[in-house]
Structure 1
C-alpha cells in the first residue's frame, strides 16, 4: 500500500474515532431548555475536572503553539509555558472563586456586577470578540494549514486547506456547543500529548542526544536584550500577560466555569497546570531546536518538517489526526467563546433579551469563519506566528486587564473612567509598540516591558479620572469578599 494511502487511511480512521467517542460521551446528557445560555455555553455546568483540564490544555495547545514556538527554534520559548503555570494558579485561586460567587456565564459579567454598568461589559466583550475574530481564529487556522502542508509535502494551497478546517470547525461549534468541544478536546488532547512526546523522543534520537553545533543562544533559558524573551521581562509584563490570558480570557475560563462546582473547576485547572509544567515545555521547543541542527534556520516550517522526516507513515497519519483535532478544537473553542460574548453581553443587552441561542450562535459563527478566511493571507506574511500574535494581542490585553484589576480591587469607580482607560491604553501601547510611531520602543524597552507600562498607566488613568472628572473616591474592596454584591 502506498505510504500516502496509509497516512490518509489512518488519519481518517482516527479522526472519525474521536468524533464517535465524543458523540458517545455527549449523547443522553440532560438538556436545560429553560436556560439555553448555560447549556450551550457552559455545558449545563456538567464538565468533570478531567474534561476541564483536557479542554483548557488543548484549547491553548494547538498548531499556533507547536508550529509557532518550535518555529523560533530556541529553548527560550519554554518560558511562556513555565510562567503560564503561575497564570493557571491565579485563575484557580483568585479569579474562579469570584466568577463562581457571581454566577458568571462570561468573564465580563463580573465587570457589570462590580461597576454596576452594562456598557463596560459590552465594551470589553467587543474587544475580546475582536481578538478572537481578528487574531486567534485566523492564526490557528493558518498555522494548522501550514503544518499539514509541510508534513504531507502537498502542493495544495494554504487557502484550500484552511477552508476545510473552517467548515468542519464551524459545524462542530454550531451543532455541539461547549459540551462537545470540551469532550473532544480531552480525547484529542490525550492523543496529541502522547504523539508530541513521541516526536520529542524521536527528535532526540535523530541527533543521538547531542546538541553540539547548535548556537548557545538557542539552548539557553536566560535571554539577552536581543532575544525574543529577555530575562528581565519575566519580572514585569510576563506575569501580567499570563494573568490576563488564563484569568480573564473567555476562551480559557469558560471551560473552568462549566464545572458543577468551584472545587471541581479548581481540580481541573490544577491538573492543566501540571500538564503545562511537566509536558508542554519540552514539546514546544525540543523539536524546533533539533530541526535547526538537521535543517538549519527554517522558521515556522520546522515542526512540520521534523515530523514528516522522523515519523513512520502509520504514525504520521495518527499525528496528523491529532493535530487536525487540535486545530479544530482550538478554532471552535474560540468560535464558541466569541459567540457567547456576543449573545450574552451584546445581543441580549441591546437587541433581544430572549433570542433563539442556537440559531443566533450559528449566524455569528458563520460571520467569524468568513473573517478568519479573509485574514489568512495576512498571517502568511508574518515572520513568526507566535511573536505576531503576542504583539497584536498586546493592544488589548493590558487595557482589558486593567479594567479587571480595578474592578477586583476597588468599588465606587465610574465605569466611564475604566472605559476611558481602555481607550487610552490601546492608543498608548500602539504608540510604543509599532514601528510607524514616532514613540516606538521608548528607551529601547521590549514589548513585554511595554505591556507592564501600559497596565500601570491604565490603572492610574482610571483612578485619576474617577477622582478628578467624576469626583468619586475609589474604595479598596476585594471582589472575592463582596458577598453583598453577588447576585443569583
Structure 2
C-alpha cells in the first residue's frame, strides 16, 4: 500500500518539477503562472482544488448518516459556475486583476480592497487551511491505520499526519507557485477519475457478491431514503436552500473566492478561462461517484460504524486490494494538497499584492519582484505552522466536520459576495456603503447564530441578511452617491474574446445538472 502511495506522488512531483524548471520568478509568474494556463490546466485545477479530503470524508459521512441531499452543493454549483464564466471572468480579466479584491479597489477604494483582503486571509488561516489538513489526516489514518500500527493515541496520530501534510504542501506552494499546482492537479485529476470509478465498481461487486449489476439492484432497493437528494424542510440541507443561501455561497465560492478564482485568472485568455470552468463543471457532474456513492455502499457493507468520519477510509481499506488502496490514498492526499496549495498561494498573493506592496509604495520604498515573492513565502510558511498546531482540535467540534466547514465559511463568504455584487451592478454606491454593509452583515449574522434564535436554517438567514444589506447599501448610495459614477476601464493583459461555443455547452451542462437532481429524487431512484 505504501509503495503505490509514494509511487504516484513521486510521478506527479517529477512531472511538475520538469515542467516548471524555467518558470519566471516574478510575482505574476509565481502567483498566476505567467498568465499562460490552458483550459485543461484551469479546469483540472479548479476541480481538484474543490475536491479536497474534506469532501471525501465529509460528504460520504453525510450520505451515510443522512441522505444524498449533500450533493446539492456540488450540483447547484454548476449553475453558479456558468454565471461566473459568463459575467464575472470578463470583468476580472478586463481590469487585469491579480486578486478578486482588486475590483473592489477600483470600484470603491483601497481601504475596502485591503479590508476584504484581510477577511480572505483570516478565512484561509482559521478555516480553509486547518480544515484541509484535518480532513486529509483523518482520511490517511483511516486508510493506513497508523494509530494502531504505531501504537499511539488518535490525537497524536492526527497531529503527526497534519505536520507531514502541511510541510509537504507548503514546499509545493512556496517553491513552485501556481503553475506547479496546476500541473500536479492535471496528473492527479486523471488518477482521481480512474480511482473514483474503480472504488465504486469494487464496492458494488462486494454488495452484489461478485456481481456489480446485483450490487446496483441492492443499492437501489434498500435504504431508499438515503438515495433522496431533495431534502425536506426539517432536514440538515432543505432543498429550498438551493435558491437562497446556497446559491449565494456558490456564486461567491466560484466567482469571488481568491484561492478558486486564481486558477481562472491565470488563463492565457478569456476563452481558455471559460472552457476551463466548463471542464470543471463536467467534473462536478460525475463527482458523486467518488463523493457520495461510496457512502451509500458503506451503508450496505458496514451498517454500524461508530465513528462515521471513517466511512470513506473504511471503504478503501476493507474493499480494495492493497495496491489499489495505496493508489486511492495518494489521490485523496493529492486532492488535499491541491486545495491546501491553492489556499497558500492565494495567501501569498493577497498579502504581497494587496497589503505589502501598497504599504511599501506608500513609504516610497522601491520593491523588486523577487522581494515580493520572498515576503509571500514567509507568510505562507507562518500560516502553515499555525494551521499545523490548530487543526487537530477540529475533532472536538460538536456538530460534525461537514457542518463545521459550511458554518464557519459563511461568516466570510456572503458578506463579501454582497458588496461585490452591489459594486458590479451599480455605478454610484460609495465606498462607505461597502464598509457599513460588511459591518452590518457580519454583526447581524453572529447575533443570529449565537444570541437570537430565528427558527430559520442558517442558509435562509444568509439570504435574508443579503437582501437587508443590499437595501442598506442602495439606500446609502441614494442619500450620498459617488461624485463621479464608476466606469470599468480596460486594462486587460490577455485577449477578451469569449469562447464562441459556450452557450451550447452551458445548456448541456445545466440539462445534466437537472437530470442528476431528477435521478436522485422521489421521481427517480428514491421513489
2:356 counterpart residue number: 347
In the aligned structure 2, how far is the partner of 1:351 from the partner of 1:28?
Answer: 29
Using the TM superposition, give the Cα deviation of residue 362 of structure 1 relative to its aligned residue in structure 2, in angstroms: 1.5
In the aligned structure 1, how far is the partner of 2:446 from the partner of 2:490?
Answer: 36
Superposed CA RMSD: 1.9
2:414 counterpart residue number: 398
> 2:262 is matched with which residue: 254, 264, 267?
254
Q: Does 1:190 align with 2:205?
A: no
8 Å Cα contact 1:100/1:262 also seen in 2: yes
In the aligned structure 2, how far is the partner of 1:270 from the partner of 1:361?
Answer: 31
Using the TM superposition, give the Cα deviation of residue 27 of structure 1 relative to its aligned residue in structure 2, in angstroms: 2.4
Using the TM superposition, give the Cα deviation of residue 292 of structure 1 relative to its aligned residue in structure 2, in angstroms: 2.1
In the aligned structure 1, how far is the partner of 2:137 from the partner of 2:169?
Answer: 13
8 Å Cα contact 1:78/1:282 also seen in 2: no
In the aligned structure 1, how far is the partner of 2:395 from the partner of 2:10?
Answer: 30
> 2:121 is matched with which residue: 119, 125, 129?
129
> 1:238 is matched with which residue: 217, 236, 246?
246
Q: Does 1:323 align with 2:332?
A: yes
In the aligned structure 2, how far is the partner of 1:475 from the partner of 1:362?
Answer: 39
Pairwise mapping of residues 199-214 of structure 1 onto structure 2 (< 5 A)?
A: 199-207=199-207, 208-209=215-216, 210-211=218-219, 214=222
Q: In terms of mean alpha carbon deviation, does 84-93 or 51-60 score higher?
A: 84-93
1:285 counterpart residue number: 292
In the aligned structure 1, how far is the partner of 2:392 from the partner of 2:2?
Answer: 27
8 Å Cα contact 1:467/1:473 also seen in 2: no
Q: In terms of mean alpha carbon deviation, does 240-249 or 345-354 score higher?
A: 345-354
8 Å Cα contact 2:95/2:489 also seen in 1: no
TM-score, normalization: structure 2?
0.85
8 Å Cα contact 2:133/2:340 also seen in 1: yes
Using the TM superposition, give the Cα deviation of residue 283 of structure 1 relative to its aligned residue in structure 2, in angstroms: 1.7
1:18 counterpart residue number: 12
Q: Does 1:410 align with 2:402?
A: no
2:280 counterpart residue number: 272
CA pair 212-81 structure 1, distance change in 2 beyond 3 A: closer
- SS of 2:146's partner is coil
In the aligned structure 1, how far is the partner of 2:340 from the partner of 2:237?
Answer: 27
Residues 13-36 of structure 1 show CA distances to partners (whole Å, capped at 9, x for unaligned) of 11111100112222234x2x5xx2
Q: Does 1:389 align with 2:405?
A: yes
Q: In terms of mean alpha carbon deviation, does 138-147 or 423-432 score higher?
A: 423-432
Using the TM superposition, give the Cα deviation of residue 378 of structure 1 relative to its aligned residue in structure 2, in angstroms: 2.8
- SS of 1:411's partner is coil
- SS of 1:218's partner is helix
> 2:75 is matched with which residue: 54, 78, 82?
82
Residues 83-119 of structure 1 show CA distances to partners (whole Å, capped at 9, x for unaligned) of 011121112101100001101000110111112x111
In the aligned structure 1, how far is the partner of 2:122 from the partner of 2:202?
Answer: 39
Using the TM superposition, give the Cα deviation of residue 264 of structure 1 relative to its aligned residue in structure 2, in angstroms: 0.9
8 Å Cα contact 1:59/1:252 also seen in 2: yes
1:426 counterpart residue number: 442
Q: Across the two proteins, how many residue pairs are aligned to each other?
A: 465
> 1:368 is matched with which residue: 376, 380, 383?
383
8 Å Cα contact 1:62/1:327 also seen in 2: yes
1:113 counterpart residue number: 106
8 Å Cα contact 1:466/1:472 also seen in 2: yes
- SS of 2:231's partner is coil
Residues 92-147 of structure 1 show CA distances to partners (whole Å, capped at 9, x for unaligned) of 101100001101000110111112x1110011111111111110101011010000
8 Å Cα contact 1:467/1:474 also seen in 2: no
1:3 counterpart residue number: none
Residues 419-440 of structure 1 show CA distances to partners (whole Å, capped at 9, x for unaligned) of 11111111111111x2x31x12
Using the TM superposition, give the Cα deviation of residue 395 of structure 1 relative to its aligned residue in structure 2, in angstroms: 0.9
Q: For structure 1, which runs of at least 5 residues remain unmatched after alignment?
A: 1-6
8 Å Cα contact 1:213/1:293 also seen in 2: no
Residues 239-274 of structure 1 show CA distances to partners (whole Å, capped at 9, x for unaligned) of 111100000011111011101111111111111111
2:50 counterpart residue number: 60
Q: Does 1:50 align with 2:50?
A: no
8 Å Cα contact 2:93/2:265 also seen in 1: yes
Using the TM superposition, give the Cα deviation of residue 293 of structure 1 relative to its aligned residue in structure 2, in angstroms: 2.5
Q: Does 1:141 align with 2:121?
A: no
8 Å Cα contact 1:113/1:485 also seen in 2: no
TM-score, normalization: structure 1?
0.91
